[in-house]
């Protein structure tokens, strides 16, 4: 039988659903919250709801945004001739943290995976093609992950981008095959951006 009063039990259960948090850690966190000042608990609850209520997707690049356009698309200092295509916002953050890229992005929100029923319609690909028609883009850097779905996605993008008058490049090797851009160290990521090769 669950030894905790229902509200504590509920909190443990919810915290335990967070990635990497087992029941033991969830219990420790729940008791920390239980003993914390009320003001902290209110701030925590507001912060959690804030990411649900105040975060939307940038209407241009589909990065996370707190307004119509994300901070990168709003920044006039970014090089609008370059678009780096990534699978997820976390990949964009990894590239941003390197400080070595000054262009714009386009976030697909996933990758192609025919076995999982994930076709091109599930990604923001049409919107990317539309951007190529309306923005002064000279180069599209395909920065999908170097695993099987990421490579499938890259090859599909290459085919769809070919009719446009833009240079298409792919991140250079250096990122381990099967690896995830999000977890690659900054130096490797900068190097693979600099040594990107034409498709």
Decide if 125 contacts 157 (C-beta within 8 A): yes
> Which strand (E) or helix (H) includes residue 126?
helix 125-134
Interface stretch with Zn ion, choices 52-60, 106-114, 120-128, 140-148 (CB under 5 A): 52-60
For the bound state, the minimum distance from the C-beta of residue 80 to Zn ion, rounded and expressed in Å, comes to 11
> Is 137 a residue that touches Zn ion (CB under 5 A)?
no
> Is 58 a residue that touches Zn ion (CB under 5 A)?
yes
For the bound state, the minimum distance from the C-beta of residue 59 to Zn ion, rounded and expressed in Å, comes to 8
- Rule CB under 5 A: choose which of 12, 26, 30, 70 binds Zn ion: 70
| DSSP one-letter string for 75-122 | -TTSEEEEEEEESSHHHHHHHHHHT---EEEEE-SS--BGGGTB-GGG
> Is 82 a residue that touches Zn ion (CB under 5 A)?
no
Q: Name the residue nearer to Zn ion (CB basis): 61 or 83.
A: 61
> Is 61 a residue that touches Zn ion (CB under 5 A)?
yes
Decide if 131 contacts 73 (C-beta within 8 A): no
Q: Name the residue nearer to Zn ion (CB basis): 69 or 190.
A: 69
- Rule CB under 5 A: choose which of 60, 106, 111, 124 binds Zn ion: 60
Q: Name the residue nearer to Zn ion (CB basis): 63 or 153.
A: 63
3-state secondary structure of 142: strand
For the bound state, the minimum distance from the C-beta of residue 182 to Zn ion, rounded and expressed in Å, comes to 18
Q: Name the residue nearer to Zn ion (CB basis): 63 or 145.
A: 63
d(CA 2, CA 39): 28
> Is 106 a residue that touches Zn ion (CB under 5 A)?
no
3-state secondary structure of 48: helix
Q: Name the residue nearer to Zn ion (CB basis): 30 or 62.
A: 62
> Is 63 a residue that touches Zn ion (CB under 5 A)?
yes
CB-side exposure of 115: number of CA atoms within 13 Å?
3
Q: Spell 111-121 as b/e; 16+ CB within 10 A means b.
A: bbeeeeebeee
Instruction: Please give the residue ranges that form the binding site for Zn ion (CB under 5 A).
Output: 58, 60-61, 63, 70, 73
């Amino acid at each position: 039988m669950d030894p905790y009063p229902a509200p504590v039990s509920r909190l443990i259960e919810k915290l335990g659903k967070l990635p990497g948090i087992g029941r033991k850690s969830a219990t420790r966190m729940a008791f920390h919250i239980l003993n914390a000042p009320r003001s902290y608990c209110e701030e925590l609850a507001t912060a959690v709801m804030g990411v649900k209520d105040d975060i939307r997707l940038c209407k241009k690049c589909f990065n996370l945004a707190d307004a119509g356009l994300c901070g990168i698309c709003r920044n006039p200092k970014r090089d609008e001739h370059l678009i780096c295509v990534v699978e997820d916002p976390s990949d964009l953050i990894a590239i941003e943290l390197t400080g070595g890229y000054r262009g714009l992005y386009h976030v697909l929100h996933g990758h192609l995976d025919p076995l999982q029923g994930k076709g091109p319609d599930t990604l923001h690909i049409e919107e990317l093609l539309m951007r190529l028609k309306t923005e002064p883009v000279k180069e599209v850097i395909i920065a999908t992950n170097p695993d099987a779905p990421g490579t499938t996605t890259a090859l599909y993008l290459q085919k769809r981008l070919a009719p446009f008058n833009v240079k298409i490049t792919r991140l250079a090797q250096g990122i381990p095959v099967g690896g995830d851009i999000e977890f690659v160290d900054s130096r490797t990521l900068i190097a693979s951006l600099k040594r990107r090769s034409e498709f």
